[in-house]
Chains A and B, each alone.
Chain A
Amino acid sequence: KNQVEQSPQSLIILEGKNCTLQCNYTVSPFSNLRWYKQDTGRGPVSLTIMTFSENTKSNGRYTATLDADTKQSSLHITASQLSDSASYICVVSASGGSYIPTFGRGTSLIVHP
């Protein structure tokens, strides 16, 4: 069964600090992995997509990594801001057959001033 596990479940950091969120998956055969940001009371919004051949991709202060061999991804947030407070969801898609993605349960990040 395809599964996506995220850690930690929640995280509290001070403004200006860095943090790293983890995602482990067992989706096979792997197609791509996306990180979504979900602000309170809003729908998730895609931050970045990682495909099999990509190791690192940056989107402003967000940097995603992918290790397809160990089936792990991370999302690193640099110099956190109050607006980074949100839930971050890892979503993995398989290739061939059903294109329905598998969702992780998310990491809730709170940034304190």
Chain B
Amino acid sequence: NAGVTQTPKFQVLKTGQSMTLQCAQDMNHNSMYWYRQDPGMGLRLIYYSASEGTTDKGEVPNGYNVSRLNKREFSLRLESAAPSQTSVYFCASSETGGYSPLHFGNGTRLTVT
């Protein structure tokens, strides 16, 4: 049982390049999330998907797009990377409702030069 799997683990981009971060969960969860974590800022929500076919903006959505490909997969795309997007990105999933814990992947460390 892998839980939440994120790829890649590390990535270096040049300013203006694009890339897609992949996330897959095998727990049959309805809800999936993308967070970024910066030193001193904690985890901030970028986008989330309450169920297959729906996506909503979080606290810091600018510069990002998402796709809920199916129930298992939720991808995050950077169309034109900027140095301000240098961060660690975490994908998470949970069952529907506020009492369920978030299950996190181990993150993608992205550097934009």
Contacts and interface: CB of A to CB of B under 8 A. Distances in A.
Q: Do chains A and B interact in one complex?
A: yes
Interface of A: 31-32, 34, 36, 41-46, 49, 51, 89, 91, 93-95, 99-101, 103-106
A3 B107 CA distance: 24
Contacts, number: 50
Closest 3 CB pairs of A and B: A43-B104, A105-B42, A46-B101
Interface in B35-85: 40-45, 48, 58
B42 A99 contact: no
A39 B43 CA distance: 14
A11 to B, nearest CB: 16
A32 B98 contact: yes
B107 A32 contact: no
A31 B43 contact: no
